[in-house]
Each structure stands twice: as structure tokens, then as C-alpha cells.
């Protein structure tokens, strides 16, 4: 991988790392957390081969509380304009949508746990998951489809579960988790503080049932994103 530009991974919480995304990239990672920095500085787009923005518990439009979000949104908008491969997951998808002119709806629909999504359109990356995969949801905010974007997946509660906007793919759900990362989430107070013990047990049980079938498809999906990253170099 000598000479390969790194992939920028922006994180917002220590337990919400790239997970399965990282091995699919086959490239060095440059992980940054600028959430609460007034003077947030991120790498230039000519220094990276792709941008991945992970999840977090904050509202995507809370720039006053988390000023670094403004820099993230500016970078995402510039990345789409420059045709840089982008992957946004959960909060990352919401930031991507806002960067592209969409609107956030706070507490619009809480979805926590494993449930299917309906895949509505073909996509070279998302298509690896199939037409109705059961995935992990963990959100309460939602976004409108950005102008000009293609809606890729939906649920009744959250109409925009995935979208494609040029070089960028946004995912409201969490295909990046394996069993170990799910266990970490279920033992992290910030993640489960508002869940009952029964809720946690159900998510753990559903994970044991659904992850074995989901993981190979998720790995294939992230490898497809990795091919786009490698093509940029």
C-alpha cells in the first residue's frame, strides 16, 4: 500500500469506530475526531482517497453544541463536488444529507434493534446487501432526501434509510457491526441507558440470529466501497 493516500475516518464516540468498514478499505486510515473543536481542521481532500463519517449520539444540526460538525459538513459537501468516495453511517448520513441541502427531523422515528429495510434501487455498493436485509438500527432522528439524490432504501418509520448522491453513499442503519462490536455497544451506558434489560437481551439475541447471515454481505459491500477508494488512489 506504499503511496496510497489514506482514508479519512471521522468519529464522534469512542465506541462507534469503523468496524467492518476498515478491512474492506485495504488502505491506511486517518482517524480524526473534531466534534467539539471550535477551530476544527480536517485533511485536504487531495490528501485522502476517501471519507468515512461514523455515527454518534448528537443531533447532526447541533453546531452550537458541537462546533466541529460545521467543518465536517463543509468537507462532505466539498468531497461530493470533487467526486471523492464518501460513506456516511447514521449520524454520518445525516451530516451528509445536511451538507447537500437536506433537513433534519429530530425525534422523528426511534428505531433501535434488528429489522429489515426495503432496498428500492440498484447501487454498486449497497446492492451487496440484497433486496430486504435485516440490519441493525439505532437512531431517533431522520432526514429528507437531499435534492438530486437517489433514494436507495426505506422503512415505514424512516423513509430515507439510504441514498446515493454522486460519489457519496449514506446509510442510516449500522452494517459495520460484528458480534464483538455489538457486545461493546450493549455494554456501553451511553448506548443502552434508555433501554430496558429486556430490550438489551432482545437485541443481543437478534444479533446472534441475524449477524451470521448479514456479515458476509456487509463485508462484500464495504469491499465494493474499498474498490472505489482504491480507484481514486
Active site residues: 90, 174, 176
d(CA 225, CA 227): 5
Q: Which three cell numbers stand for residue 185?
A: 455497544
d(CA 55, CA 91): 4
CA 173 to each of CA 28, 97, 230: distance values in angstroms, whole numbers, following the listed order: 24, 14, 24
d(CA 156, CA 61): 24
Question: DSSP character for 61?
Answer: T
For 136, other C-beta atoms within 10 Å of its C-beta total 24
* 223: helix, strand or coil: helix
SS3 content of the chain, % helix, strand, coil (to 5): 35, 20, 45
Going by C-alpha positions, the residue among 20, 40, 8, 12 that lies closest to residue 135 is 20
**H or E segment to which residue 23 belongs:** helix 21-25
Amino acid at each position: 500500500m506504499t503511496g496510497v493516500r489514506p482514508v479519512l475516518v471521522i468519529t464522534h464516540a469512542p465506541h462507534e469506530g469503523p468496524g467492518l468498514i476498515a478491512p474492506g478499505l485495504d488502505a491506511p486510515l486517518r482517524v480524526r475526531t473534531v466534534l467539539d473543536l471550535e477551530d476544527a481542521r480536517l485533511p485536504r481532500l487531495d490528501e485522502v482517497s476517501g471519507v468515512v463519517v461514523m455515527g454518534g449520539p448528537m443531533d447532526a444540526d447541533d453546531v452550537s453544541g458541537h462546533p466541529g460538525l460545521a467543518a465536517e459538513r463543509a468537507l462532505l459537501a466539498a468531497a461530493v463536488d470533487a467526486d471523492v468516495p464518501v460513506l456516511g453511517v447514521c449520524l454520518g448520513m445525516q451530516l451528509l444529507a445536511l451538507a447537500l441541502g437536506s433537513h433534519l427531523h429530530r425525534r422523528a422515528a426511534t428505531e433501535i434493534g434488528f429489522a429489515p429495510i426495503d432496498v428500492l434501487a440498484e447501487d454498486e455498493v449497497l446492492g451487496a446487501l440484497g433486496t430486504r436485509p435485516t440490519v441493525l438500527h439505532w437512531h431517533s432522528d431522520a432526514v429528507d432526501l437531499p435534492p438530486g439524490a437517489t433514494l436507495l432504501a426505506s422503512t415505514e418509520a424512516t423513509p430515507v434509510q439510504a441514498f446515493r448522491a454522486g460519489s457519496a453513499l449514506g446509510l442510516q442503519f449500522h452494517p459495520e457491526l460484528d458480534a464483538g462490536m455489538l457486545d461493546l455497544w450493549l455494554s456501553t451506558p451511553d448506548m443502552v441507558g434508555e433501554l430496558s434489560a429486556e430490550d438489551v437481551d432482545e437485541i443481543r439475541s437478534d444479533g446472534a440470529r441475524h449477524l451470521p447471515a448479514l456479515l458476509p454481505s456487509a463485508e462484500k459491500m464495504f469491499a465494493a466501497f474499498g474498490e472505489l477508494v482504491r480507484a481514486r488512489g
